A and B are shown apart, each in its own frame.
Chain A
Amino acid sequence: GAVVSQHPSWVICKSGTSVKIECRSLDFQATTMFWYRQFPKQSLMLMATSNEGSKATYEQGVEKDKFLINHASLTLSTLTVTSAHPEDSSFYICSARGLDGGSYNEQFFGPGTRLTVL
């Protein structure tokens, strides 16, 4: 399957600072990217969906000014957690979907980024 990378894999930051997480599709063009948040022993919660060149669509309850998503190219999306606080500590997973010419369009997941806010 196709590969999605995330950087960094682990980040620790001080409260009040901003953190940027990168998500790249390495061998395909990702027309749509998804950002998830996962708390320990819980399921994945979709935060937002982004299409290349368009503004992200945020899920209900997700603060768009706090979680800035940019999908500037077909291979890169970024999630910036602004003014991070300890409650933002979580595991963030990106996922990318390209166009395979059919109706299915498989979705591939990155390895995740662990964010710890002190």
Chain B
Amino acid sequence: AQTVTQSQPEMSVQEAETVTLSCTYDTSESDYYLFWYKQPPSRQMILVIRQEAYKQQNATENRFSVNFQKAAKSFSLKISDSQLGDAAMYFCAYRNTGTASKLTFGTGTRLQVTL
């Protein structure tokens, strides 16, 4: 079974600064998807960024980018120019390919953004 590990329960960053959230995973599959989800205080899950394992290029979405190291099974999220609205729980998630596949979530990292 796949597992996802987030070793940072909490992180803090100053506004306008950059922060990196860590995530490692374990799988025997060669093709899969990795995600970062944001859960703000409203508790609505929001997809931040997605990475397909077969793509070597790291995904980017505006201020959000990932460092995908397939051999190391590492998938970190970098948030640049942090904003107060970035404060939330961030969950790393894994999913096999295939229509019946399920998301496996990490335990989450709570990000605080300070002035």
Contacts and interface: CB of A to CB of B under 8 A. Distances in A.
A105 interface: yes
A76 interface: no
A46 B102 contact: yes
Given A31-B99, A46-B102, A99-B99, A109 B107 contact: no
Contacts, number: 46
B106 A43 contact: yes
Interface of A: 1, 31-32, 34, 38, 41-44, 46, 49, 91, 93, 95, 97, 99, 103-107, 109, 111-112
B43 A111 contact: yes
Given A43-B91, A46-B103, A49-B102, A93 B45 contact: yes
Interface centre among B44, B99, B110 (most CB of A within 10 A): B99
Interface string B75-115: 00000000000000001000101111011011110100000
